[in-house]
A and B are shown apart, each in its own frame.
Chain A
Amino acid sequence: MNNSVDKNKNQIDLPVVQSQSETKHWKSLDSYNDTNDENQLRVKDNEFAEGAENFDINSKSKFSRRKFMGLMSASSAFAMAACTDYRDKGEIVPYNDKPEEVIPGIANYYASTLTSDGKGQGILVKAREGRPILIEGNPQDPVNKGKLESTAITRILDMYDPSRVQSPLKKISNKLVPTDWNEVDSDIIKSLRSSANSGKEIALVTGKIVSPTFAKLIEDFKAKYPTSKVYSYETFNENNRENAWKKSYGSGNFPLIDLEKASVIVSIDSDFLSTDGDVTENVRQFATNRDVDNTESYSRFYQVEGSYTLTGSNADYRLRLTPENYLDVVATLINHFAGKAGMPTMSGYKSLEALAKENNWKPEAIKNLISDLESNKGKSIVLAGRQLSENIHLAVNYLNELIGGSNLYRNDSQRVEAVKLSSNSDMKQLASNISSGKIGTLVTMNTNPAYNMPKAFNESAMSKVKTHVALTEFENETTLNADYVIGINHDIESWGDAKTRTGYYTTQQPVIAPLYDTRQTEAILLNWVNVGENYSEDIYHKYLQNNWESNIYPGLGKSVNFKEFWYAALHEGVVTHSEMSLSTNAFNQASVSGIKPTKKSNYTVIIQESPFIRDGKYAGNGFLQESPHPITKITWDNTAMMSPATAEELGVKMGDMVEVSLNGAVVNLPVLVQPGMAEKVIGVDYGYGRTNSGVISQGVGFDVNPLMSDKGMSKWVYTGASVKATGEAYDLVSVQEHHALDDEFLRTAERKNPEGEVIGGDETFARARKIIQETTIEKYKENPNILHEHAHDVFSITKDFEYNNLKWAMAIDMSKCTGCNACSLACYVENNIPVVGKDEVGVGREMGWMRIDRYYAGTPEDPIMSNQPMLCQHCDNAPCENVCPVVATTHSEDGLNQMVYNRCVGTRYCANNCPYKVRRFNFYDFRDDLANGYYKTESTKVMMNPEVTIRARGVMEKCTFCVQRLSEAKQIAREQGKELKGSEVTVACQDACPANAITFGDANEKGSKIQERREHNLGYHVLDFLNVKPNVTYIAKLRNTDSLGVKSEHH
């Protein structure tokens, strides 16, 4: 302040001297003669001196202009503040008593477990200001290792779903009416007591239970109400596999298999990369042996299947075969190896050669299959799908003994069941108990038997149940007939624990207080056990802690005291301990002796678990409904998948309805002509056609439950179906047009350019345009530079921008990517991407920033499928940028192609000019548009990631490389004064990828993985001839086959 005052003084001193009067004063002769006077000289230098002669600072107002402006703006601000209702800030209330660990703007992560999925996946919940916004895998979880199944990634949406049951409901004169807990509890306790006293059964129907404490609670419940019985079922289960194991080895559970050790995998219709077993672990282990930098131990994978599964699409050799003949394959292999070893063989089966001929397999496939198994004894495994009959599992057990597959059975860990799954006969018993009126109280616990078992749980049967209590998150078919519908907590509103394998436990803690007036299932049961005690919020928490303290903790051999142990366990989410595993008994040869070949008759129906909505449990989840089927790319529907030849035989085409009848049951389904299906096989996803399930899923797809009976080869595979066209048509929507095989024009458009290169035709599109580049291992070994041999030199005519510091880049390893769509779903959750609904997907307006493109090569009978994750390529010469008239899309110095939503006017020129078509336009406010704003309610708003702008209607959006994460990392680095390392930042899709196929980082970071990948021999850019310089490098897929099997094999 002082300084500035002095300065002013200096400046104004001068005129003051001069302006005393018009008279010129002089001090000396020199001064009078106007020479050498310092003042005089200075005046001359001062350009304003003349005009400022009369300037008198004292005559001026005391207010400086600056002060005047300040006062004026302050007074207008006051005036405006007075005019606004500034008190109306809604519900924003500062923390009166701030939770210790919550800092506004900084996310907290809590370890927990998803117990409701029957898998006990360890999770990390990201919460902002106490609101959970993202579920990620817990890296400590030994099975998932930080990854999750698609259903778990999107499970967050279920918690915020507006149609959750928000309080206990009681049926009064056929209407469900909200009521209070005391009333329901006392009603139900009364009913339980009377059932117990009158000897009527209390049936607890549940899905798979993974919690040991819940198991104990059930025991307590049984003790209190002795007529109780637990029925634990999963529609898709491993009962056949387990039963076969018991027959083959006498005892124990089917072992865990170490796929990392497998050089050769032969899967008999096991969808182990998508639905069968612990998928994330399977994918991780499978991908480990698909490493382009370690071609010596690159595994070879054979898939024998009738339908087309995600797993099959990843096979090196995919042998399409109708399920009746699976046993022929296994038996031939058994005979081959058993014959040599002098072991018992199986007779009456078709040979591989005969099957190859019937099904048009590549001759090299069966030749390689035998020789691979021979030369990789002890390093090969045969897997059988859980949906197959016990017989096949028995034969496969035998085959694994012969080829040394048993070597891959893990002995360090084993599956554990907290509550044993009920057998088929148990479930039948339940059905008959219901229909004969033996059930006094039926409690269904977060499960939907009326949908899964419509025959046993139909309305008339249910009317014989005295009291039916449904504990559920959402209303469903089962709640229709319930007397009490009780809302339960979501997984991340609950306490619990899980144990699915020996060697570790996971813990479950709530991350948010229940959003609604709900309680967790366990607490409700516990309250019914503790009759007479008052309910308190933490009853189950205490029960859990007590159980751990007295029953679990002592056995773990931990040296810390319980309290410390408990908090550490909750913090980590996982408790590991050493636990002995059972050893396997000797193989019982007699178990395979009774197996007979199956005869195919008419059509075969395979009922598959949906990769996304599973057994219908997640049908209400918009993200999962909109997630395209990994093979068919159909969303919001299930279809009757059939081969082109079968469709031709039936005289139907895509979208026609067919009537599938099986043992008198009839279901109508829309046709999806799927290349690569075995002939006369219909594959159909289960879980659709829900009738009472809320806005999202009601009426979506077709219910196939009526087809399911005891008369099949297994519960899920049926032969002898008859299929006929109904003549009706149905609207199927897919995210990819079905041109590649549908369109007669494209199929015949194969043409050659003057150099004789094929430049048109179905399979050549993806290859001629260098979208998909693949090669075989042998060719790559021979010539590591095979991909770039014929590369043309593309150059820019302008000078390129130099990126000297950070430059963000991504690489995707196509050998590892299975096409599971987890990346895309994680992107939906992370980046607040709206669900658009079936109609809008139908007109091509799905909003996903990342998608999995599917391309076929080969023939429609036996196609080769290639998947390709596609997202914004953040091109250096981005064609979208220069065409935007308002500069709404720009390039950052660290190499990001950015969208400025505020500036965007929505000309859509950028999207037109994007060769990758990754830009997505908000044609509507989709949150408002879908089902009258179903996802625009108060609760779903809370789920939004606060770091990511909600895009308005009329603006363009696209992948940002999770710029919010990059900015956060930069900010942290800046605060800590460290250099930001690109390799330490991860993006959402990368975090979600169970195969670790995605690498992200700073292209300029020396020695980083991303740098290595960008210079990899197999690295290529899609459409590189355009010279747009994309920054997503694709690592070409290596196929472990003799030839690529496409006509236009390049190089």
Chain B
Amino acid sequence: MSTIDYTKNEVFVEGNRTLKQIDDVIIAPLDRIPNLKFFIALGFTLTLLLIGTVAIGLSFYYGTGLWGNNNPVGWAWPIVNFVFWVGIGHAGTLISAILFLLRQKWRNGIARFAEAMTIFAVITALIFPIIHTGRPWVAAVYLLPYPNQHSLWVNFNSPLLWDVFAVSTYFTVSLVFWYVGLIPDFAVLRDRATGKAKKVIYSIFSLGWRFSNRHWQHYEMTYLILAGLATPLVLSVHTIVSFDFAVSILPGWHTTIFPPYFVAGAIFSGFAMVQNSLVVIRNVFDMQDLIPLNTLETMNKIILLTGTMVGYAYSMEFFIAWYSGSQPEYFTFVNRAFGPYSWAYWIMFSCNVFIPQLFWIKKIRRSIPLMFIIAIFVNIGMWFERFVITVTSLSRDYLPSSWGYYSPTITDIAILLGSFGLFFTLTLLFTRFLPSIAIAEIKAVSEGAQPTHHGEDHE
């Protein structure tokens, strides 16, 4: 083994580009007319979106009966999808806020993209709480605490209401945070813009940014404060989403371990999704230097860490179920692993606990194809985790007389496809209209940008 110099920072931007070259590389996708591949990809995601939209439209017209939901299983795929997408939306803010506060420089290259994914994932997630209700047209209004003559008020005891606040707050803060980070980049775009329309639009969004020292000072402070605001939200959103389950009295849902377990799971799946997308982006747009293997490897380490945490939670749930001495509790967990939905349980367990353990091996951690596949498995596993929690617990609860088996319908599948369609459509459009990498931030961590005691590295 060669010795590693721990005093030297790892390199997270390679290629030794000049600042102008960095601008050029990042902005290139915005300037050229997309190639056919892009339109094929967009066509594909739009088709998925259309399928989902039609399915939702039919569900509005005929009723939620088009789905597989039944009498013990009142919540199924729409809720699974909701929790899944909210979970995906966790990596972005974690990367941009928490890692920012912790001065993790490797985040700079991926923060913008991860944040964008957060926004899109939350947008996708937000569709579900509304459409999954029996009467979406009234749900959209009744769930808000608006003043009215009937003195009708929302129920502040209900976790579903906390959800409304938690997710909307998270969305708002994430959006503001993202936008603030984009201001200097808008200024760069404005300065490079050739068309009149572009110029006007970028001018408006750059808010008169002139790269002045004062601007940078205010910017850094605002960004820091926003990062501080966003940090607790990263933890609170999925905590509150987990309350949707934990506050109930259903065995398998009524668990105090849920908040940390959900947050860990969310970061786990979020990182997997970001890693997946980045692997594609850096190849398509030749940004291998800006998002080097080192960055991806660091992400894989986090996937390994959170995957192990999730595995711990799975095991602890079993232990507590046995230790509680409560028959319904115990049965629920035995039923998860060995009952009619055991297939789903073992898909979840293998994808989330066993497969990520491969990341202990450095070669796998640094192999693009392998990490890509493992991250896909992680997301499959995390989708199934939500399925296992939601559906198996409901399908067999207290009264055996009411047990039932849930199977999804074609409409359920169409809506899930539609959600992927929406998410990736937004992602694709994002890569075309906004810089996928934070130009200002990447410059700050590129070689030679910061003073260092390694004189020989300084040019």
Contact surface of A with B, Cβ cutoff 8 Å: 736-737, 739-740, 743, 745, 749, 751, 753-755, 759-760, 765-766, 768-769, 771, 840, 843-846, 851, 853-855, 868, 870, 879, 882-887, 903-909, 911-913, 915-917, 920-925, 929, 952-956, 1022-1023, 1026, 1028
Contacts and interface: CB of A to CB of B under 8 A. Distances in A.
Nearest to B135: A954
Given A879-B248, A924-B63, A915 B397 contact: yes
Given A759-B330, A853-B399, A954-B134, A923 B69 contact: yes
A766 B398 CA distance: 9
Interface in B122-140: 132-136, 138-139
19 contacts: A737-B404, A749-B331, A753-B327, A768-B327, A844-B72, A853-B399, A882-B157, A885-B164, A886-B139, A905-B136, A906-B139, A907-B134, A909-B244, A913-B249, A921-B64, A923-B63, A953-B135, A954-B134, A956-B134
A923 B65 contact: yes
Interface string B71-85: 111110000000000
Contacts of A769: 327-328, 398-399
A854 B248 contact: no
Contacts of B70: 843-845
Nearest to B401: A853
B338 interface: yes
**The 9 A-B residue pairs with the shortest CB-CB distance in the complex, in nearest-first order:** A906-B134, A954-B134, A908-B74, A844-B70, A923-B65, A853-B401, A917-B402, A905-B139, A885-B160
Contacts of B249: 879, 913, 915, 1026, 1028
B334 interface: yes
B150 to A, nearest CB: 9
Most buried by B among A749, A905, A913: A905
A730 B74 CA distance: 27
Given A855-B400, A912-B75, A749 B334 contact: yes
A1026 B72 CA distance: 18
B142 A924 contact: no
Given A846-B71, A913-B249, A885 B158 contact: yes
Interface in B27-76: 62-65, 67-75
A759 B71 contact: no
B248 A883 contact: yes
B361 interface: no
A787 to B, nearest CB: 18
Contact of B330 (A760, A911, A929, A954): A760
A907 B153 contact: no
Nearest to B331: A760
B379 to A, nearest CB: 26
Interface of B: 62-65, 67-75, 132-136, 138-139, 142-143, 152-155, 157-161, 164, 244, 247-250, 325, 327-328, 330-331, 334-335, 338-340, 394, 397-405
B403 A737 contact: yes
A884 B155 contact: yes
Given A905-B138, A908-B74, A771 B158 contact: no
Contacts of A887: 152-155
Contacts of A916: 398-399, 402
B134 A921 contact: yes
Contacts of B397: 915, 917
Contacts of B68: 843
B158 A884 contact: yes
Nearest to B409: A843
Contacts of B65: 840, 845, 923-924, 929
Most buried by A among B132, B139, B398: B398
Instruction: Tell me whether chain B's interface is mostly helix, strand or loop, or mixed.
Output: loop
A883 B134 contact: no
Contacts of A956: 134
Given A753-B330, A913-B248, A913-B249, 19 more contacts: A739-B400, A751-B330, A759-B327, A760-B330, A769-B328, A771-B398, A855-B400, A868-B401, A870-B401, A885-B155, A886-B142, A904-B135, A905-B142, A909-B74, A909-B160, A913-B250, A916-B398, A923-B65, A1026-B398
B135 A854 contact: no
A956 B327 CA distance: 29
B72 A954 contact: no
A786 B153 CA distance: 47
Instruction: Tell me whether chain A's interface is mostly helix, strand or loop, or mixed.
Output: loop
Contacts of A924: 62-63, 65
Nearest to B327: A759
B134 A955 contact: yes
A334 B136 CA distance: 71
A1023 B400 CA distance: 12
Given A737-B403, A844-B404, A906-B133, A920 B327 contact: no
A882 to B, nearest CB: 4
Most buried by A among B63, B164, B397: B63
Contacts of A736: 401-402
Contacts of B327: 753, 759-760, 768-769
Contacts of B72: 844, 917
A420 to B, nearest CB: 46
A740 B401 CA distance: 9
A737 B73 CA distance: 13
A883 B400 contact: no
A845 B399 CA distance: 17
A760 B339 CA distance: 13
A614 to B, nearest CB: 26
Nearest to B142: A886
Contacts of B325: 753-755, 759
B342 to A, nearest CB: 8
Contacts of B134: 904-908, 921-923, 953-956
B143 A885 contact: yes
Given A844-B404, A882-B158, A915 B399 contact: yes
B248 A955 contact: no
Contacts of B403: 737, 739
A855 B401 contact: yes
B401 to A, nearest CB: 4
A737 B331 contact: no
Contacts of A955: 134-135
A381 B338 CA distance: 50
Contacts of B402: 736, 853, 916-917
Contacts of B139: 886, 905-907
Most buried by A among B70, B247, B335: B70
A912 B250 contact: yes
Given A759-B327, A905-B134, A908-B74, A870 B399 contact: yes
A923 B67 CA distance: 9
Given A843-B70, A844-B404, A909-B160, A915 B398 contact: yes
Most buried by A among B138, B327, B394: B327
B458 to A, nearest CB: 59
Most buried by A among B74, B132, B403: B74
Contact of B339 (A745, A766, A906, A917): A745
Contact of B160 (A846, A883, A952): A883
Contacts of B394: 912
A754 B326 CA distance: 11
Nearest to A926: B65
A745 B62 CA distance: 37
Most buried by B among A771, A851, A909, A1026: A909
B130 to A, nearest CB: 9
A905 B133 contact: yes
Most buried by B among A743, A745, A909, A912: A912
A911 B74 contact: yes
Contact of B399 (A754, A760, A885, A917): A917
B256 to A, nearest CB: 15
Contacts of B164: 885
Contacts of A929: 63, 65
Nearest to B248: A913
A407 to B, nearest CB: 41
